[in-house]
Amino acid sequence: MTTSRPPRTILSVLAAVLLPLLAAVALTAPPAAAAPPAATARRAAVPTATLTEVTNFGTNPSNLQMYLYVPNNVTAHPAVVVAVHYCTGSGPAMYNGTEWARLADTHGFVVIYPSVTRASKCFDVSSPQALKRGGGSDPVGIKSMIDWVTRTYDADTGKIFATGISSGAMMTNVLLGDYPDVFAAGAAFSGVPFGCFATTDGSEWNSACANGTVTHTPQQWGDLVRAAYPGYTGRRPRMQLWHGTEDTTLRYPNFGEEIKQWTDVLGAGQTPAATDTPVSGWTRTRYGSTGDQAPVEAISLQGVGHNLYANGMASRALTFFGLDGSGSTPQPQPGTCKVTATTSAWSTGLTASVTITNTGTTPVDGWRLGFTLPAGQTITNGWGATYAPSSGAVTATNASYDGTIAPNASVSIGYQANHSGNSAAPAAFTLNGTACTAG
């Protein structure tokens, strides 16, 4: 008798068919693509080329919102710019109303736009909590945003910058005071010094500061900054300051107080190393050095009010930050120089004669002579150079016909001025930022 084999089950049939196929696939299929490296995964945290809100970014005691702009061409270890809005503004408004996102597209850095949720839409630059490191207010939330970006995009911690307008300018001052170890530089448009807006009654507004009546010595202003992070002895961030002479919201004297504060903090001295007029109506003074990245740079806009920000200014801030690739461009430096100045006076006026001698061994090709007029003197006209401003710290810029001074050669210039009793000549001079011997 013949015994038949039992029928194979469906599973055994499938196995018989599929196993050879699977083996063939295993032998012929290309290897699976490797998983993207962790850095690549992190860099895709938010969509590029669009403003995106980031939530749960870290400690945020005052409930700020975080908006982020990452360009398509974000660099491997990007710089970070924190762009802080004005009162009544927002992060999206700062994004739409300034050039920072467009500049990020060009240069590959990341922009953080903090946004206030309190009713005033003003940043806290007044409370004791805001004016100290880790104090528990807006600066802590902004620091958390920076930390999130640094982790997520492997940001260059040596290239973190802050900028802001009005309330945002005041916050720029505060951030650089609270976190000097975080920021490389700041640019404040229409702000006030760190600590000027301080209050203890819960108010967000300080009328005395806004009206420009709060004044201190440079050291007193500097001490306020140093007290925000007691014991810190490291590098301090550079500061660029902008202010309009007709500002009626945060009045113009605040500009001079900011200069006093940051020149003291950075040890740059109160006398400008260079003064020029980059745009008609602007007076730019640089302290500590003459190049594009001086420790302190201050731009005064004649006849301009509180809303001074305009297209093109962010690009100048970017140059100050050193993010546009231009680097520092100091003015030509003479080897040594000598200046002789005399005056001939009458009751309310004077004529000054000034001789500039290049005592170095190389030509000076293009020059700016810096000096400070005695109090009460105002230049009414001049020759051999253009003079700006007409009083205080003045810069005389060469005329077209006398811009080159050969070694051991001299040029003579002069001016007429009104005076209120003091008819003396200036006592000290700099030529392209280099101190000259007074003859």
Annotated catalytic, 62? no
Give, in degrees to the nearest 5, the angle at Cα 429 between 254 and 390: 50
Q: Where do the H-state alpha helices sit in 63-187?
A: 91-97, 100-107, 138-153, 167-178
Angle among Cα 255, 123, 142 to the nearest 5 degrees reads 105
Spatial distance between the Cα atoms of 240 and 297, rounded to a whole number of angstroms: 5
CB distance 415 to 381 below 8 Å: yes
Task: Record the tokens describing residue 20, joined without a space.
Answer: 């050879």
Based on DSSP, count helices (H) and strands (E) in the chain, helices before strands: 10, 22
Please report how many Cα atoms fall inside a 13 Å half-sphere around the Cα of residue 79, on the Cβ side: 25
Q: Of 351, 354, 401, 402, give the one whose Cα is nearest residue 381.
A: 351
- 175-to-70, 126, 161 alpha-carbon distances in Å: 22, 13, 10
Q: Which of 126, 127, 137, 166 is catalytic?
A: 166
Q: What would the DSSP string read from start to end of 329-391?
A: -PPP--S-EEEEEEEEE-SSEEEEEEEEEE-SSS-EES-EEEEEPPTT-EEEEEESEEEESSS
- For 16, the enclosing helix (H) or strand (E) is helix 10-28
- Catalytically active residues are 166
